[in-house]
Structure formats: structure tokens, C-alpha cells
Structure 1
């Protein structure tokens, strides 16, 4: 029996995934979370075989929750199940320790394939579409500077682009406000922006945040 924890801020998505997974006799949904904080808390309480988690959720978000879980539980198996189809987010998720990355736009049944593949082999799983995107970008040599950011730098960049003040970012990521300000300085140097408007434009250009 594969024990699965689901984390997504949309109840309809969670309930739909739970119904699909539990139609399979070898799978059982043992918990559901609606935020990054709750995903981390439930993981520590339930220790599931696999956590299926959305990338963008209220609070600390999926990427930071993933980082915290993997820091404490180095063998944790986490699949990021995200609406974001761009390469940068997939690369960041895998760098943070995700064992799989699937796009919500794909076939939901692929999640079953990914879970079984990971449990049987212990190897990573990328959706076919995402694997192809990464391969194409690698071959074409197209440059996305956000891929060169560390996981922490990327999260600070994303939250700054969403308009959060430094103190709130510090609170969400459990960092000092001075540390976040230092990250902001590093980001300006690495990405070449000089204003919040330029920062947001970069985030939209590389699909780190939605334009709307």
C-alpha cells in the first residue's frame, strides 16, 4: 500500500486527485493539506510514502515547504504537481529535492504512472512534455538567468515579484529581514534589474509569476 499525502490550496483539485488515487487498490490518501505550512506539518506527523504538492500555495508555498521537508527528511519523496509549465520552475523544484515534476495540464493518469515509477525504482520522474522542454532549451542554448539562482534566491525573487514587502518575505521564509535585503541585492546583481517594475517584468518574461 502506497500512502500518499496531497497538498494543494484548491479543495476541488485535492478531492479529485484523492478519488482518482483511491480507485487503485495499492494507493491510499492519508492526508490533505491546503498550504505549504500545513504540508510540512502533516508530513512530519504522517510520514507518507509520497507527497504530491502544488508549487504555488498560500504562505510559504510548495517550493519552500519542499526545501524544509527535504532538509529534515533527506529520503522524502515529493512530486511537484503544478500548473506552471516553464522550465525554470521545474529545474528549481528538482534542485530543491523533488523526485518528480508533473504539469496539471497533462493527463491526470500520468500521476499514477509517476507514483508507481518512483516507488518501484526510486528514480526521478518528469512528465514527457517537461522533459522535452528541458531538452529543447538545453540544445537551443536559450538562456534563462533564473535557472542559475539558488532555491532560496529563486523564492525571494518570486515573492518580491508578487509584491511582498521584505518583512513579510522574511517571516514566510524564516529569515532575518537583513538577510532578505542581502538576497535582494544579490538578485539585482545576478538578474540586472534596478527597480521593482523591471523585477516584475523579468518574473513575467520567465513565467515565474502570471501576468494577470
Structure 2
């Protein structure tokens, strides 16, 4: 009999983690062995329990999901991390893969997609949500591939950029990411400098240009 695939769940919503546990408990070959709501704790727990798969949300308080992926993969290049996110933009997938994750599934996907992704990534494959994968094949022809200007942003800067262009205020971002208001304000200034823009409207136009926002 094959050993069970051990899973660690990382999501700041307890209801989401409970749903994952309930779903995965239906499969004899998968076992949830750990869970946490924060990226920092995920890095610490990973070293202790060494799960086969980490199912990682990207929108986390503290260091954030992309940064947590980088830290875990920095400690263990063979770590198998599956990003499980509300974001379905191909650029977000690219950033997650660059950080070191081996798969990407959106939270709007059918439950069996998540299970399929866990099994395939556990066996060494890379798995991208089929809907996103089809768009990633088409996108380079329309937009010169991954926009280099956005790759200058760090994981946390990219998180804040995404929230800004989706209409969140600096104070709302600070609350959502559990950061100080001044810290987020400094991030916003740095993001504008890196992108060569001065206003929120210019950032939004950039987001539309590269498919982060849909018209």
C-alpha cells in the first residue's frame, strides 16, 4: 500500500481550512497533518513536520504567501508547494512559480481540481489550473510575455500593488495585511517609483495593460 500524501494547509480563513480538511478526509491516500493561518508559522512548521505538500494561500497577513513560498523553498529546494488563491491572473501564477511553487489552483475551481493538483504535485509534476494554463499559452503573443517592469516588485510589493489597483485604500491594505499604515504608505511610494508612475490612475492603467485587471 502506498504511503499517504501528507499535507499542510496555510490559509488565514479558518472556514477555508475546515473545508479543505473535510474535502481531503474523503481520500484514503491524503492526510492533513498540519495547518496555520500565517506565512511565518508555515515556514517554521514546515521544517518540523516536513509535509509532502503545502497548500498555500497567497493573501496572508504578515510576510504573505509569495514570500513564505520563497523562504520554504530557500530552506528546501525540493519542497512541493501548491498555491491556492483567489487570483486567476496569469502574472500571479508566474510570480508564484518564480517563487518556487509547483502548482497553482484558484479558489473558484471545482474541489476535484484541488485534489488532482495535490496528487500530481506530490508525484513530482507541475500542475496549473486548466483555465489559467490556456490563457498563459495565449497571453505572450498579445503582450510580450511577463512584463519586466512588474517583475521588479518584491512579493509584498506585488501584493500591495494588486490591492491598490483593485480599489483598496492604504488604510484598508494595512488592516488586511496586518501592517502599519506608514509601512504600507512607504511601500506605495516605492511601488510608484519602481513602476515610474505618480498616481493611482496610472497604476490602474498599467494593471489593465498587463491583464491584472479585466476591462
Normalization by structure 2: what TM-score?
0.78
Q: What are the superposed Cα offsets for residues 92-128 of structure 1, whole Å, 9 maximum, x if unpaired?
A: 00011000000111112111111111222x1211010
Q: Distance in 1 between matches of 2:207 and 2:48?
A: 35
**3-state SS in 2 of match to 1:93:** helix
Aligned to 2:193: 188
The CA deviation at 1:208 is 6.0
Q: Distance in 1 between matches of 2:146 and 2:197?
A: 14
Q: Say if 2:82 and 2:121, in contact at 8 Å, map to a contact too.
A: no
Which of 129, 132, 136 matches 1:130? 132
Aligned to 1:174: none
**Residues 138, 207 of structure 1: alpha-carbon distance in 2 compared, 3 angstrom cutoff:** closer
Q: Say if 1:52 and 1:81, in contact at 8 Å, map to a contact too.
A: yes
Q: Say if 2:6 and 2:30, in contact at 8 Å, map to a contact too.
A: yes
Paired residues, number: 197
**Residues 64, 12 of structure 1: alpha-carbon distance in 2 compared, 3 angstrom cutoff:** same
Q: Distance in 2 between matches of 1:24 and 1:147?
A: 43
Aligned to 1:81: 84
Q: Distance in 2 between matches of 1:167 and 1:61?
A: 18
Question: Which blocks of at least 5 consecutive residues in structure 2 are unaligned?
Answer: 175-179
- Answering whether residue 37 of structure 2 is matched by residue 41 of structure 1, we say no
Aligned to 2:7: 4
Question: Which blocks of at least 5 consecutive residues in structure 1 are unaligned?
Answer: 170-176
Q: Distance in 2 between matches of 1:48 and 1:76?
A: 9
Q: Distance in 1 between matches of 2:106 and 2:210?
A: 17
**3-state SS in 2 of match to 1:132:** helix
Normalization by structure 1: what TM-score?
0.79
- Answering whether residue 118 of structure 2 is matched by residue 115 of structure 1, we say yes
Aligned to 1:168: 183
Q: What are the superposed Cα offsets for residues 133-187 of structure 1, whole Å, 9 maximum, x if unpaired?
A: 111212323666367515x634324336463579736xxxxxxx9xx79x927x6
Q: Say if 1:79 and 1:100, in contact at 8 Å, map to a contact too.
A: yes
